[in-house]
Amino acid sequence: MNTKHQTSILSNLFQNKTQAIVAELLFLFLAGIFGAVIQYYIKMPMHLPGKQGLLFMLILVSCATVSNFKGAALFTTSGAAFFFLVFQMGAQDIFKPFIFLISGATLDFLIFFWRKMNKPLIFLALAGGIAWTVIPFIRIFISLFSGFVYKSFASGIVYPLFTHFVFGSVAALIAGIALKKFYK
C-alpha cells in the first residue's frame, strides 16, 4: 500500500510543476466527460428525476474533494458540458451544458466552505445535495420564462427538488466516506 501524500506522488510522476497541473486539469476534464457519458448512456426508466446524479455526483464530488485545484468541480462539469454541447447538440435539453456548469460552480462554492469548517461529512452531503438541486431550480426558471417544458415536472415541482437533493446528498456522502483518508 502506498502511503505517500498525493502531491509527492504527482511530483515524482511529473518533474515539472506545470506538467502536474496540466495532467490534473486534463484528468478533471476527462472525468467530467466520463460522468456525462455514463449519465447519457445508462438510462433507467424509473421515473425518478435526478437519479443520474447518483453516479455523476459521486464522480464530481470525488474529483472536487481530492483535487488541489480550487475550481475542480467547475472544471469537471465543463468536461460534461463539452460532451453535451458537442456530441448531443441539444438533442433533449439545449440548456443542459449551462445547467451543469452552474451546478459545478455551486459545488465549488460550497466545498470552499466545507474545507474551512474542518471537513464534516454531513456538510459535504448537504453540499452535494444542494449542488444537484440547482438543476431543477434552473429548469423551473427556464420553464417559466421560455416555455420549454420538462417532463420531470409532470408530477409537480416539489418531487423533482426532493429527489435531486436526495440523490446528490447520497452520492456526496458515499464519495466522502470512500475518500475519507484524503482529508483527515
pLDDT band at 41 (very low <50, low <70, confident <90, very high): confident
Q: Is the pTM above the cut of 0.85?
A: no
| Residue 148 confidence (pLDDT) | 76
Residue whose grid cell is 464530481: 60
What pLDDT, on the 0 to 100 scale, is given for residue 3?
52
Domains of the chain: 28-183 (1.10.1760)
Amino acid in position 8: S
| d(C-alpha 118, C-alpha 17), whole Å | 28
Q: What is the rounded distance in angstroms from the CA atom of residue 29 to the CA atom of residue 35?
A: 10
Q: Given the C-alpha cell 456530441, which residue does it identify?
A: 87
The whole-number pLDDT of residue 142 equals 86
Q: What is the pLDDT of residue 14?
A: 61
Residue 171 and residue 58 in contact, taking contact as beta carbons nearer than 8 Å: yes
Chain mean pLDDT for the chain: 83
Q: How confident is the model at residue 78 (pLDDT cuts 50, 70, 90)?
A: very high
Give per-residue pLDDT as tens, 90-134.
557 788 889 899 999 999 999 998 888 887 889 999 999 999 999
